[in-house]
Amino acid sequence: MININSVWILLVCCCSFLKAQAQTDSNTWTPPPAPAYSFIKPSENSLSATRQLDSVFYKLQNIRRTHSGRLNIIHIGDSHIQADGMTSVVREGMQSFFGDAGRGLVFPYQLAGSNAPLDIRSTSNTSWKSNRLTFPDKPIATGISGYGIHANSQSATVTIGLKDMEGRQERFNRMVFFLCNESVCYQLSDSGMSAPVTFYTQRNANNNSVVVNTDDLITGFRLARVNAPENADYSFYGVSLEKRDTPGVLYHSIGVNGARYDQYVQNDLFWDQLKELNGDLFIISLGTNEAQTPALNQQAFTANCAAFVQMIHKIAPHAAIIITTPPGSYYRMKKPNKSVESVAAALDNYCAASNITCWDLFKISSGMPGTISWKKTGLLGHDLVHFSSAGYKLQGALLLNALAKGYNQYIKLHPYKVAVVKPTPKPEIKAQKVQTEVQKANYVRPAAKIQPTPQPQKPAAAPVPAPATEPATRPGSHIKVEYSDK
């Protein structure tokens, strides 16, 4: 005879187990697996020294569990990163699981005559002088993006918009601008504003960035220079497009064609502006251009890498670091480049000696023999240095899965514990004190008042139109400008 009570207890236990299992599974990060190729070694696809990433994984775990907080990732590299082929896979993969806090840092590469990520469009009503940090002797400053554009036109405009990428339309309501350090007045507009918003930069002011917040999510903007002295440059170094108060991952990618470790290290403006992004995790993907020298000096190369890491520690003392090794490529389209192997070995040894996390893509893709496989499978580009779209997507999927493996190991060893906080009586706060605290929290300069410009002239270039499905900014929508004070 069946004991009803025993069956009931058994059912309750099973339900509790399944519920606990479902909760565990929902917090396990399982991105799509990377495409399978015979020369790719999934067993080698992991991060070294993952204990150095505990602060990153802890923050991701908290974001996933509480739906609050933000992780700022800054991925710095060369031409492999500039086109955003690899980083777009990592960014979208992380944001789909932990939350999308924005597109991150972008630059109008088209105005500098260079290649841009597929989701970025930029236009202007004038031509610009440009430079990138690989040409430090050129008398045009470069900043946080590793690029800089400069114009003398009194009515120069920069228009930047985000494209709809196969149904994925990024939007933002917070813009962090990196502009010139001159006395210049700017007008910011988008298709929904009833009138342009005016803000200023000051000559020799201690401001590395200007923050503009909007009420509604937008997909693009137009920034025009107005009422500027004739000899004042309109200089544009980049803008971070973010979702204000939205939890998740904010993934900035900074890539410069032809860049090397030492060229980044020598650019003071780059580091001054980079600290404004408050990076929690820096991923460094450099070394391909150093490998174009057949007789690589490993000692000098390692010293440049160490100097780069020291600069990160200087601007972000508590940030974690991942150094990646470059994938195999060819030397002058003739034969596999042995210097890439030397670069990978130097980076691997430096990370091991310095207790820095390393992701060894060179080893994961079978080293020197894998270089031939990259070519045979059509994953290398025509120049046999850069990769096809499929090649970069494969690299992005591999890095994404390596990050997921490290994260899942962390949450297994560190189960999430809900902190129990005893409620405390709320003290009575005077209105004047609340106002003072809010002003301190926002770091708003008293002189930085926003004034709608009376009777603005018709702009030379049309504002970026918002998609039909995008709710327009309400007339008179509150726009707030903040100036950094670091």
* Interval 322-333: pLDDT, tens: 999 999 999 999
Give the confidence band of 302 by pLDDT, cuts at 50, 70, 90. Answer: very high
pLDDT at 202: 77
Over range 345-361, report the average pLDDT.
98
Give the confidence band of 18 by pLDDT, cuts at 50, 70, 90. Answer: very low
Tell me the CA distances in angstroms from 280 to 53, 63, 312, 358, one per residue in order: 10, 14, 11, 16
Q: Inform me whether the pLDDT recorded for 142 exceeds 70.
A: yes
Give the confidence band of 472 by pLDDT, cuts at 50, 70, 90. Answer: very low
pLDDT at 419: 63
pLDDT at 428: 56
Position of tokens 């800089």? 148
pTM for the full predicted model: 0.83
How confident is the model over 169-199, as pLDDT tens digits? 999 999 999 998 877 889 999 866 667 888 8
Give the confidence band of 26 by pLDDT, cuts at 50, 70, 90. Answer: confident
253 DSSP β-pair partners: 75
Q: Inform me whether the pLDDT recorded for 4 exceeds 80.
A: no
More confident residue, 454 or 235: 235
Q: Inform me whether the pLDDT recorded for 423 exceeds 50.
A: yes
Phi, psi of 410 (to 5 degrees): -65, -50
pLDDT at 20: 41
pLDDT at 426: 60
Q: Inform me whether the pLDDT recorded for 246 exceeds 60.
A: yes
Under the phi-then-psi rule, with left for phi > 0, alpha for psi from -120 to 50, and beta for the rest, what region is 323? beta
Q: Inform me whether the pLDDT recorded for 104 exceeds 60.
A: yes
Single out the residue of 274, 214, 277, 209 nearest to residue 244, CA to CA: 214
Over range 413-434, report the average pLDDT.
62
Mean per-residue pLDDT over the chain, rounded:
85
Q: Please give the class, per CATH, of domain 105-245+447-486.
A: mainly beta
pLDDT at 124: 96
pLDDT at 459: 39
More confident residue, 193 or 416: 416
Q: Inform me whether the pLDDT recorded for 461 exceeds 60.
A: no
Tell me the CA distances in angstroms from 240 to 192, 366, 444, one per residue in order: 20, 37, 19
Q: Inform me whether the pLDDT recorded for 51 exceeds 80.
A: yes
200 DSSP β-pair partners: 185
Can you spell out the DSSP letters for 46-104?
--S-GGGGHHHHHHHHHHHHHS--EEEEEEEESHHHHT-HHHHHHHHHHHHHH-B-EEE
Over range 95-103, report the average pLDDT.
98
Residue ranges per structural domain of the chain: 27-101+257-418, 105-245+447-486
Q: Please give the class, per CATH, of domain 27-101+257-418.
A: alpha beta
Over range 101-109, report the average pLDDT.
98
54-66 helix and 85-98 helix, angle to the nearest 10 degrees: 50
**Could you give the CA distance from residue 96 to residue 31 in angstroms, rounded to a whole number?**
9
More confident residue, 2 or 97: 97
SS (H, E, C) 214-258: EEEEECEEEEEEECCCCCCCEEEEEEEEECCCCCEEEEEEEECCC
Give the confidence band of 215 by pLDDT, cuts at 50, 70, 90. Answer: confident
* pLDDT above 90: percentage of residues in the chain: 70
Give the confidence band of 98 by pLDDT, cuts at 50, 70, 90. Answer: very high
105-245+447-486 shares the fold of 27-101+257-418 = no
pLDDT at 422: 62
Q: Inform me whether the pLDDT recorded for 252 exceeds 60.
A: yes
pLDDT at 22: 41
Position of tokens 């929902």? 26
